[in-house]
Chains A and B, each alone.
Chain A
Amino acid sequence: QQKVQQSPESLIVPEGGMASLNCTSSDRNVDYFWWYRQHSGKSPKMLMSIFSNGEKEEGRFTVHLNKASLHTSLHIRDSQPSDSALYLCAASRNTGNYKYVFGAGTRLKVIA
Chain B
Amino acid sequence: EAAVTQSPRNKVTVTGGNVTLSCRQTNSHNYMYWYRQDTGHGLRLIHYSYGAGNLQIGDVPDGYKATRTTQEDFFLLLELASPSQTSLYFCASRDNTGQLYFGEGSKLTVL
Question: Bound complex: CA of A44 vs CA of B92, how far in Å?
Answer: 10
Residue on A nearest B58 in the bound complex, by CB? A99
With beta carbons under 8 angstroms apart, the residue of B31, B33, B40, B105 that contacts A43 is: B105
With beta carbons under 8 angstroms apart, the residue of B44, B58, B94, B102 that contacts A45 is: B102
Q: With an 8 A cutoff between CB atoms, is B104 at the interface? A: yes
**Per-position binary interface string of chain B over residues 40-57, scored 1 when its CB falls under 8 Å from any chain A CB and 0 otherwise:** 111111001010000010
Question: Bound complex: CA of A104 vs CA of B44, how far in Å?
Answer: 9
Please state if B48 and A104 are interface contacts (CB–CB under 8 Å).
Answer: no
Interface on chain B toward A: helix, strand, loop, or mixed SS?
strand
Q: How many A-B residue pairs have CB under 8 A?
A: 55
Q: Indicate the size class of the contact surface on chain A.
A: 20 to 34
Please state if B100 and A104 are interface contacts (CB–CB under 8 Å).
Answer: no
Please state if B44 and A102 are interface contacts (CB–CB under 8 Å).
Answer: yes
Please state if B42 and A46 are interface contacts (CB–CB under 8 Å).
Answer: no
Question: Bound complex: CA of A2 vs CA of B40, how far in Å?
Answer: 17
Question: Bound complex: CA of A92 vs CA of B104, how far in Å?
Answer: 22
List of B residues within 8 angstroms of A43 by Cβ: 90, 102-105
Please state if B59 and A101 are interface contacts (CB–CB under 8 Å).
Answer: yes
Question: Bound complex: CA of A34 vs CA of B95, how far in Å?
Answer: 14
Please state if B42 and A104 are interface contacts (CB–CB under 8 Å).
Answer: yes
Please, could you name 17 A-B residue pairs with CB atoms under 8 Å apart, sorted by A?
A1-B59, A2-B59, A32-B98, A43-B90, A43-B105, A44-B43, A44-B100, A46-B100, A49-B99, A88-B42, A88-B43, A90-B43, A98-B50, A99-B58, A100-B45, A104-B41, A105-B42
User: Contacts A32-B98, A43-B104 given; 6 further ones with Cβ under 8 A?
Assistant: A1-B59, A44-B43, A46-B99, A90-B100, A98-B31, A101-B45
